[in-house]
Amino acid sequence: MAVHQFAERAPRAGFGNTSPVMTSAIGDKTLRQRIDHSAVRSVSPYERSVIGFRSDPRMQGVVEKNYFDEDLAAAVSRYGQSDEFAKVVSVLAMRLRPGALLLDFGAGRGLTSLALAQSGAFVVSVESDPSEVVGIGALGKLKRPPGPPLAPVSGDVLQLPFRDHVFDIAFCRSVLHHLEDLDSGLKEIWRVLRPGGILLVLNEHILGPFSDERIFLQSHPAVPYGVNEHAYPVWRYWKVVRQAGFRKVHFFGYEGDALDFRDFLATSCRHNPFRFRLMALPCIGKLFRGALYGLHVLTRRHLRYICVPEESCVAISIVAHKPAN
């Protein structure tokens, strides 16, 4: 996907290409909504955080990792070539066929919608934030070349403006942990997904089973801006996805990589002087170092959903299916 394929246009809103299939399935009234760029609105905490990250040289890694590039076209181009997007295409496989109807809910400024539209699927992007920086206003301003239909729709994930059993695929990236009501959000996704449809959720923050979120919230760079960040134990995601009606629920994306031995020793000595003294003891120090490293590998690789390093803001992805009958 080349950067030159996208260009800014006057902010009078437009929804790119639609199709008779999309209009018939979703409803002409919904697709003909317009984004009001002239409306007076307040700047959301999320928008403030992204603007803050872009202006802070210390946060350029955050900008790059989250595709917060000021140039949306450049961000889409980078994302389309990323390992993450390659995984998305791999998971959805044959479902990303021309004519398939895909819902990108909590789509933000349309990063993933624009990348997914290149697959040939009809993409409907739902976002409640009208912002031209991080919301649907940015997608409404962007002129796309002729190609697969993509329709931005202003709406709330907790009350989607669509009929039942419309979409073949439901997709989101870093959305569930922001919802005020996780259970209701997933039930609403279930409602609009066709029997046999698939749900793919990317990059949801997780906690250890006994965590109170304190370390996670202290470590997340967006929290000081007032962004509504949360994280949940893996079992919580599994439970609400199952309760919504989905089956064949699988998690991926967090392997719990262990440090190599040298890095582990350096980290241990830096943060725990008592442990350093034990490791330095003659004879038993070597045994102690080996035992501690073995425990580190065990917890990071084999008990990764129990011993979660919350200061790293660990995230997982989820794929689940709606039964065909």
Q: How far is CA 13 from the centre of its chain?
A: 25
Sign of the torsion formed by the C-alpha atoms of 95, 101, 103 and 104: positive
Query: Could you tell me if 190 and 323 are in contact, meaning their C-beta atoms sit under 8 angstroms apart?
Result: no
By C-alpha distance, which of 117, 101, 111 is closest to 136? 111
Domain with CATH 3.40.50.150 in the chain: 3-255+309-321
pTM reported for the whole predicted model: 0.77
CATH code for the structural domain at 3-255+309-321: 3.40.50.150
Sign of the torsion formed by the C-alpha atoms of 185, 78, 205 and 53: negative
How confident is the model at residue 7, as a pLDDT? 32
Query: Could you tell me if 113 and 123 are in contact, meaning their C-beta atoms sit under 8 angstroms apart?
Result: yes
What is the rounded distance in angstroms from the CA atom of residue 137 to the CA atom of residue 116? 19
How confident is the model at residue 140, as a pLDDT? 76
Q: In the chain, which residues have pLDDT < 70?
A: 1-41, 143-148, 255-265, 267-272, 275, 295-304, 306-307
SS3 13: coil
How confident is the model at residue 289, as a pLDDT? 75
Phi, psi of 235 (to 5 degrees): -60, -30
How confident is the model at residue 300, as a pLDDT? 58
How confident is the model at residue 281, as a pLDDT? 79
Query: Residue 165 corresponds to which tokens in the numbers above?
Result: 């059993």
